[in-house]
Amino acid sequence: MTEAITADTSRNDLLKIAVAGVVSGILTPLLPGLIDRLEAVPGMLRLALVAVPFAVLVFIVVRRRSASPPWAAVLAALVTMIAFVIAVNAAVWIDAQVPGVAKVIRSTLAGLAGGFVGSGVMAGGIALLSAGPRQAAPWLPMLVTGTIAGSLLAVDTALDLDLTSVLYPVWQAAVAVRLALALKP
């Protein structure tokens, strides 16, 4: 997979990143069942481990797209896992704040919040590393894309999806492509 993602942003290369994002998004909802078998792992760490497929993709994209040292790509992957935990917690918190509202609206609001927080923490964290640009402008498309794609949580909720998801493949593919574009050399 590493060789498949090159340093330029041709359509073909961005397509490869998007496909890798879809694959990581398909794997993400399958991991909780496997991770739950690890009894000694605390709750938040279990949740962070669910983000490993996308964190690996972020590692590869940052490693290939920036001239930063390898440790920056490792930290970008860790930031991604932390962003996932914070985004899930933000979505759960928002969902709890609107108890009298229809389930699909609660899920939409929770997804928007989770998408915003997840992409925002990733953008902020990676920007603080030597891996990404320090200006806000290159990160805004990733933030907007992540926020809008987060609303797909309502689709997952409406379809009562558990081991599959619409949200994760779309969100991870879109955010990975926006990350690659933000890191353009």
pLDDT (tens digit, 0 to 9) for every residue of the chain, 185 residues total?
445 444 445 888 999 999 999 999 999 999 988 887 877 777 788 889 999 999 999 999 999 988 888 899 999 999 999 999 999 999 999 999 998 899 999 999 999 999 999 999 999 999 988 767 788 899 999 999 999 999 999 999 999 888 889 999 999 999 999 999 998 76
39 falls within a domain: yes
Phi and psi at residue 107, to the nearest 5° = -65, -40
pTM, two decimal places: 0.89
Q: Is 36 helix (H, G, I), strand (E, B) or coil?
A: coil
What DSSP state is assigned to residue 129? Answer: S
152 falls within a domain: yes
Angle (deg, nearest 10), helices 167-182 and 52-65: 20
Q: Domain range for residue 112?
A: 11-182
178 falls within a domain: yes
Whole-number Å distance between alpha carbons of 21 and 92 = 24
54 falls within a domain: yes
Domain count, the chain: 1
29 falls within a domain: yes
6 falls within a domain: no
68 falls within a domain: yes
Residue located via tokens 């709750």: 43
